[in-house]
Chains A and B, each alone.
Chain A
């Protein structure tokens, strides 16, 4: 479990200070799938870096399973619990062969070779890349590379993985692959935190946190968050196409129930009209 209490983060720059996080309170339960959305500069990525102690709070606390991330002696135990996957897989892949890349993290933990073998095999299987184990990562598509980066995190056996815009650089097919992989990992028990600009992806999570100007404005189930079409637009965010279309039809006088999120739901309701 991650627990964030009154977290503030200030970046020091040449021109003075910039407040990036301003009093964040958030709990992420074990096994949860949480999406974090917000405009560029709202503090999403800064928050993500606090989850595995890449940053330390300027004020306030972040606890991972009760471990204070600000305490130097907790650093490695926190990172054994929380893995990260970033936007650009090219910046994360280090080895010339896929399976060497996935093994890189566990090797650094000093784990026995047979155990590494087991972990790598299982991680590649989980992300559906077993067939590519001996490939050079440079031969893979963006979505495949990102799945290798995810396998690297999976092989570390962290109970939580924070995905910081993992699909921003991918084509639609690659985005589908990566989202399906995250859903699968979550179904297997992983705690997943997904930072994204794609509202369709956020809609796949169990809870959505909306950030603006360093604060969490609201947290709720996707249905609740995305039914406020006008509010989301005001924040500079979007809603899934089905939610927006439903809202437009409501404005035209159609009586549609609140909380329509997917094409299937919209279809079922329109069929009854």
Chain B
């Protein structure tokens, strides 16, 4: 379990650029959970996940991973973080070397490293024949998979993904989301930062909404999409399907606007028309 207790964070303290990013945030993530964190640019999402991953030192409050402070290395190593546009961090000559970089730094044995590299590649759907190819010659979607494989090779218990589908085309997006779902089913705890309400609707069982450094909402995605005031305050919009159903509603069709996936919307309209 990850426990976030009363965490506040202010950048550039004592300068004219002082900016408070987080205000007394508390929540916890249970093992096996799929938590989405939503919020507009500047809402504090990135600061929050970096604090959870132990990448920013705590100013106040506490973050505990399985009961141990995240400032301790064993706790920190349980958490993997995939940044936005992670492919920008690729640097090695070959795909295999890039994925092996993290495990090597953990001091693992060669045999274990190459085993993990292969497992991670298989998991994200990269052909093993790509091992000796330069990562820079791959497509955008493939590069991103290499970057994610590099984190998976560290075998984190908790995986944080920051906007993992930004900039991907619809197919690459669907594939990547399916893989994240697979990781979750395999037992990994996922923290998924996104402003795509559609992705959140399709994946997460719980969503926390951040705005001005505070948690405005913590609950089921379905509940969130019904609360226009909160969405508005957080600068978010319901998924396109829900927007569509709301529009049908406004036009005088008595459909329940609570549908959050296309399947649900289809069923609801059929129910009304029959």
Q: Which residues of A contact B (CB under 8 A)?
A: 13-15, 18, 38-42, 87, 141-143, 165, 168-174, 176, 197, 199-200, 236-238, 240-242, 244-245, 248-249, 252, 254, 263-264, 266-268, 270-271, 273
Q: Complex: how many Å from CA A172 to CA B39?
A: 10
- Contact A241–B262 (Cβ < 8 Å): yes
Which residues of A are found within 8 Å of B169, using beta-carbon distances? 38-40, 42, 197, 236-237
Q: Complex: how many Å from CA A89 to CA B197?
A: 23
In the complex, how many angstroms separate the beta carbon of A196 from the nearest chain B beta carbon?
10
| Chain B 137-191 residues near chain A, CB threshold 8 A | 137, 139-141, 163, 166-173
- Contact A241–B244 (Cβ < 8 Å): yes
| Chain B 25-43 residues near chain A, CB threshold 8 A | 39-42
Q: Complex: how many Å from CA A263 to CA B253?
A: 12
Q: Complex: how many Å from CA A217 to CA B241?
A: 28
Which residues of B are found within 8 Å of A143, using beta-carbon distances? 41
Q: Complex: how many Å from CA A143 to CA B42?
A: 11
B90 at interface (Cβ–Cβ under 8 A)? Answer: no
- Contact B171–A236 (Cβ < 8 Å): yes
Binds A, one of B62-70, B104-112, B264-272: B264-272
- Contact A267–B251 (Cβ < 8 Å): yes
- Contact B248–A267 (Cβ < 8 Å): yes
Q: Residue A254 contacts which of B167, B243, B273 (CB distance < 8 angstroms)?
A: B273
- Contact B237–A249 (Cβ < 8 Å): no
- Contact B170–A238 (Cβ < 8 Å): yes
In the complex, how many angstroms separate the beta carbon of B82 from the nearest chain A beta carbon?
16
Chain A residue nearest to B236 in the complex (CB): A172
B247 at interface (Cβ–Cβ under 8 A)? Answer: yes
Chain A residue nearest to B134 in the complex (CB): A14
Which residues of A are found within 8 Å of B41, using beta-carbon distances? 141-143, 170-171, 174
B125 at interface (Cβ–Cβ under 8 A)? Answer: no
In the complex, how many angstroms separate the beta carbon of B207 from the nearest chain A beta carbon?
14
B76 at interface (Cβ–Cβ under 8 A)? Answer: no
B97 at interface (Cβ–Cβ under 8 A)? Answer: no
Additional A-B contact list (10), CB under 8 Å, known A249-B269, A263-B247: A141-B40, A171-B40, A172-B197, A173-B236, A173-B237, A197-B167, A249-B266, A270-B248, A270-B269, A271-B253
- Contact A197–B269 (Cβ < 8 Å): no
Q: With A248-B266, A267-B248 in contact, do A41 and B140 touch (Cβ < 8 Å)?
A: yes
| Chain B 116-151 residues near chain A, CB threshold 8 A | 133-134, 137, 139-141
Chain B residue nearest to A138 in the complex (CB): B17
From A18, A173, A271, name the one whose CB has the most chain B CB atoms within 10 angstroms: A173
Which residues of A are found within 8 Å of B236, using beta-carbon distances? 171-173
In the complex, how many angstroms separate the beta carbon of B174 from the nearest chain A beta carbon?
8
Q: Residue A174 contacts which of B40, B133, B251, B273 (CB distance < 8 angstroms)?
A: B40
Q: With A40-B140, A143-B41, A241-B241 in contact, do A270 and B273 touch (Cβ < 8 Å)?
A: yes
B240 at interface (Cβ–Cβ under 8 A)? Answer: yes
- Contact A267–B171 (Cβ < 8 Å): no
In the complex, how many angstroms separate the beta carbon of B92 from the nearest chain A beta carbon?
14
- Contact A245–B269 (Cβ < 8 Å): yes
Chain B residue nearest to A268 in the complex (CB): B251
- Contact B269–A172 (Cβ < 8 Å): no
- Contact B133–A168 (Cβ < 8 Å): no
15 A-B contacts, Cβ less than 8 Å apart? Answer: A14-B137, A41-B140, A42-B169, A142-B42, A165-B167, A168-B166, A171-B40, A171-B195, A172-B236, A173-B236, A236-B169, A244-B262, A245-B244, A264-B251, A270-B269
Q: Complex: how many Å from CA A14 to CA B137?
A: 9
